[in-house]
Amino acid sequence: MYAFTYDPAASVEEAAEKLRKSPDANVLAGGMSLIPTMKLRLSSPSDLVDLNGLTELSGITLTDDTLTIGAMTRHAEVAASADVQGAIPALAELAGGIGDVQVRNRGTIGGSICFNDPAADYPAGLVGLGATVHTSERDIPADEFFVSLFETALNSGEIVTSVSFPVPDKAGWSKFANLASRFAIVAVMVSSQGGAVRVAVTGAKDCVFRVSEMEQALSDDFSPSAIEGINVAADNLNDDHYADAEYRAHLITVMAKRAVAACS
């Protein structure tokens, strides 16, 4: 690990200003992704701007049709929340399956989506549920937030403050996990809201993506059998020692069917 300056922030505005002044600075939330990359010298920020003292960035609120989660809310809090379990059970299940106990008690939703690991769960959760990412500068639809491998739409000095989810009519989550890391080899979030269906996949490519053919089929018949014969091409899918591209292509359909069957 290289030397860096530790800099706790007193406010979101102060944190954003520190980031703008130091282009090589990075935000510290839970640190579950950032710290390991620093230890391996894959990342070398000049400054770590710590958001852990900003209580206004934590918490879960539920209105009639929207669930809002603060960026610094821990995965364990999301999984245990009665509001999340009642409004979007699939999201509580997603959060409860991230990593291990230590990761769930330190990792945050904001940190996870900003790191945008290609095998992380939350990107599929956000895109599959049609969420909106709120920042210190603007509101970004989840479909536009995740750009590419470890890349998001955030500008320099822009900080995620919360994520809001429209409460769906029904949603389901299914994950085929690496047994050691609990990262997704393939995982799928499916939701239906007012007849509009979303199918979002993580773990299979360098970034979360939607499967429009499945969405159309489920709009006509929301059942696992409706997507039985729909296959995603193996071209451009991840191919590694965990699973080759053909296997991941097969898993996408299997996980999607299971997610539909799990919808509530």
3-state SS string over 60-82?
EEECCCEEEEECCCEHHHHHHCH
Q: How does the average pLDDT of the chain come out, rounded?
A: 96
Q: For position 244, what pLDDT does the model report?
A: 97
pTM of the model: 0.96
- Average pLDDT of span 55-69: 97
- Average pLDDT of span 71-93: 98
pLDDT digits (tens, 9 = 90+) for 150-168: 999 999 999 999 999 999 9
- Average pLDDT of span 94-117: 97
Assigned CATH topology for domain 1-51:
3.30.43
Check whether 264 has a pLDDT greater than 90: no
- Average pLDDT of span 75-91: 98
Check whether 170 has a pLDDT greater than 90: yes
Check whether 254 has a pLDDT greater than 80: yes
Q: For position 104, what pLDDT does the model report?
A: 97
- Average pLDDT of span 43-69: 96
Q: 58-261 is classed in which CATH architecture? A: 2-Layer Sandwich (3.30)
Query: Which contacts (CB < 8 Å, 24+ apart) does range 174-178 have?
Result: 174/255, 174/256, 174/258, 174/259, 174/262, 175/94, 175/97, 175/121, 175/255, 176/203, 176/251, 176/254, 176/255, 177/97, 178/119, 178/242
Q: For position 249, what pLDDT does the model report?
A: 98
Check whether 1 has a pLDDT greater than 80: no
- Average pLDDT of span 43-65: 95
181: which DSSP letter? T
- Average pLDDT of span 43-64: 95
Q: By percentage, how much of the chain surpasses pLDDT 70? A: 100
Q: For position 82, what pLDDT does the model report?
A: 98
Check whether 237 has a pLDDT greater than 80: yes
Domain map of the chain by residue range? 1-51, 58-261
Residue 156 Cα distances to 5, 136, 137, 232, angstroms: 18, 11, 11, 35
pLDDT digits (tens, 9 = 90+) for 173-216: 999 999 989 999 999 999 999 999 999 999 999 999 999 999 99
